[in-house]
Amino acid sequence: MSFSNLFRKKSIALIQRDAALGLSDHGVGETTPGHLRRTLGVVDLTSFGIAAVIGAGIFSTIGTAAYNGGPAVVFLFIFTALACAFSAFCYAEFASMIPVAGSAYTYAYASFGELIAWIIGWDLLMEYAIGNIAVAISWSDYFTGLLAGYGIRVPPYLTMDFLTASRGYAQVSELLAQGNTLEQIQAMSGLGSNVYSGYVAWASAPVFGGLRLVCDLPALAIVVLITTLVFVGIQESKRASNVMVALKLAVIVMVIVLGAFYVNPENWSPFAPNGAAGVLKGVSAVFFAYIGFDAISTTAEECRNPQRDLPRGMLYSLIICTVLYILVALVLTGMVNHQSLQVGDPLAYVFGPEGANIPWISGIIAVSAVVAMSTVLLVFQLGQPRIWMAMSRDGLLPKIFSSIHPRFKTPWFSTIITGIVVAVPSLFMNLTEVTDLTSIGTLFAFVLVCGGVLLLNESNPDIERKFRTPYINSQYIAPLLLAIVWLSLFIFNPDAIRSFLSFTDEANPTLGAWEVAKHKIPLFVYIISSFVIVYLCFRRKLSLIPVLGLMSCGYLMTELGITNWLRFSLWLAVGLIIYFLYGYRHSKLGKQDTPADT
């Protein structure tokens, strides 16, 4: 095995030639029939972006983020949107160069080489799968809550995962053994909301062959429904998405306009009650809401004019969603005190008795939340099969993953496998502890896409691009920005510097030095990397926007904790084993005699 072969690259010129000839739905240079259906325009792509971004973030997690950060949470939305915008420019540039499916996987193949492409492809599979499972479970909670509001009660053992029910039953049984009554346990303020519900679900579940039937049936149902829609065709998916997006946008605009009449400016003071630390507590949840825009790039081969429309769709959707998030956050924190917003349905809450007291709007918001979650699941279920399809075309996955249905013109096998991979875990598993993996996986993809643009600017400056990230010389701006950041920390937040340099935890003095230090490793690596990047900016006059994308997304990754880094590294290690056992040996690029790009 030659080390250089691990970094063999796809030829961008060859990809562009094949795309122009209509061969973009095959491996490089192949002519086997089986085209995807080109039907998407810029409005459809913008709609897909909004469909993916406006979901649980605006209907649920925005409440917790506002609780921690106060009205200043708007700065978190702005910062996260800027980090995504820097990456979106880079995605748009790649999409204009490489108008084929695969998203960051294909972009990495052309810029970094096969090994890095496999890593990011494997990363994207995790990102989409876990994201889809989390969305399906969240959709189930919204849907059953909506039905309960209309007096329709689904048996609790059919609305909860097995693990949560089992743990809830064990915890409540222990409390009962200590002499507490069920009424007392239900009223305990420190008990999680799922604990008592889990006990009820487990206790009421039928038993078959010694096993209790406890599963999240609505989650399974929505995954099957959405997967069927995606399987049938892109045209049908587009129509469904456009209708649902129009509905939820109408509801969100109504919330903003109506809520503005009930805003009390006194609720905005203090604007940042918990400082920067409080604002940044919501970074994972907020970023999870934003990541959907990159799924647009997986539909490149189903766009009528991908080189023109993909960049526009990405940027338009990001701008629209950011404005909506900021306005909703300002309205929510203006209508009620931010300390009361740590609820599962903040939009309905502010129009309840504690806020504007307009009961009829709660039902509309509940229906819109279910619709919003459905659109998120639709776009994610649409994206993952196309990444599998792209990897299969290159020989890194078995050929059947790139098989196109002769009638529906969709990657049928990949779509079915995606449905199974999402449906089965959402039926039985509780993934609340690993949903941050979706954010870290997406940030990793953003970092590589930004780095890929910088690399191609050096190695292939003359490659045709229908969209180019505006060039701003970072030679002096990047060092100045880094100096401003460090100077601001020393002046306005010296405690953060002391805390980082300390190997003790004031909140928990019993922790050893290593237990404290290991959680600082990601930030330590980032600090070193930032100085290296700034040095390269000064020496090589790198383009500022991709550099800012690298720096901002890299920082957001440090906020996700060492535990998520370890889980992420384990997932990538498993992927590397599969690559060396199958992908490296079957790579179509490795079988070609033409030299790799340099």
**CA pair distance 103, 93, nearest whole angstrom:** 12
Lowest mean pLDDT among 19-33, 120-134, 487-501: 19-33
**CA pair distance 473, 505, nearest whole angstrom:** 42
All structural domains of the chain with their residue ranges:
40-150+219-447, 162-214, 471-591
**CA pair distance 118, 189, nearest whole angstrom:** 47
Count CB atoms within 10 A of the CB of residue 403: 16
Beta bridge partners of 216: 159
The one-letter amino acid code at 313 reads G
Contacts of 567 (CB under 8 A, 6+ apart): 434, 437
Kindly state the helix (H) or strand (E) to which residue 207 belongs, with its residue range.
Answer: strand 207-208
CATH fold for the domain made of 40-150+219-447: Amino acid/polyamine transporter I (1.20.1740)
Tokens encoding 256:
């903003």
Phi-psi region of 188 (alpha: psi -120 to 50; beta: other; left: phi over 0): beta
Q: What's the pLDDT score for residue 285?
A: 67
**CA pair distance 150, 140, nearest whole angstrom:** 16
Q: What is the CA radius of gyration of the chain?
A: 25
Q: Which residue has the tokens 């079988």?
A: 591
Percent helix, strand, coil in the chain, to 5, is 75, 0, 25
- Specify the length of the chain in residues: 598
pLDDT digits (tens, 9 = 90+) for 504-520: 766 667 767 777 788 78
DSSP state of 208: E
Q: What's the pLDDT score for residue 29?
A: 38
Inform me whether the pLDDT recorded for 578 exceeds 90: yes
Lowest mean pLDDT among 310-319, 361-370, 587-596: 587-596
Phi-psi region of 352 (alpha: psi -120 to 50; beta: other; left: phi over 0): beta
- Of the chain, the percentage scoring pLDDT greater than 90 comes to 20
Between 330 and 23, the more confident residue is: 330
The per-residue pLDDT of the chain, averaged, comes to 83
**CA pair distance 404, 389, nearest whole angstrom:** 9
Tokens encoding 496:
């953060």
Inform me whether the pLDDT recorded for 579 exceeds 80: yes
Lowest mean pLDDT among 29-38, 78-87, 97-106, 587-596: 29-38
Tell me the pTM: 0.83
Angle at 548 between CA 547 and CA 553, to 5 degrees: 105
Average pLDDT over residues 148-173: 86
pLDDT digits (tens, 9 = 90+) for 236-287: 888 888 898 999 899 899 989 999 999 989 989 888 888 777 787 777 667 6
Q: Which residue has the tokens 């809550």?
A: 145
Cα–Cα distances (Å) from 392 to 28, 43, 105, 588, in that order, read 12, 30, 12, 10
**CA pair distance 500, 494, nearest whole angstrom:** 10
Contacts of 72 (CB under 8 A, 6+ apart): 271, 272, 278, 279
Cβ atoms of 205 and 357 within 8 Å: the answer is no
Helical axes 62-69 vs 306-335, angle rounded to 10°: 60
Inform me whether the pLDDT recorded for 588 exceeds 90: no
Q: Which of 131, 152, 133, 134 is nearest to 143 (CA)?
A: 152
Average pLDDT over residues 459-484: 88
pLDDT digits (tens, 9 = 90+) for 170-193: 888 988 888 888 888 877 756 666
Helical axes 306-335 vs 234-260, angle rounded to 10°: 30
Q: What's the pLDDT score for residue 32?
A: 41
Beta bridge partners of 37: none
The secondary structure of 355-407, three-state, reads: CCCCCHHHHHHHHHHHHHHHHHHHHHHHHHHHHHHHHHHCCCCCHHHHCCCCC
Contacts of 50 (CB under 8 A, 6+ apart): 245, 249, 317, 320, 321
Beta bridge partners of 159: 216
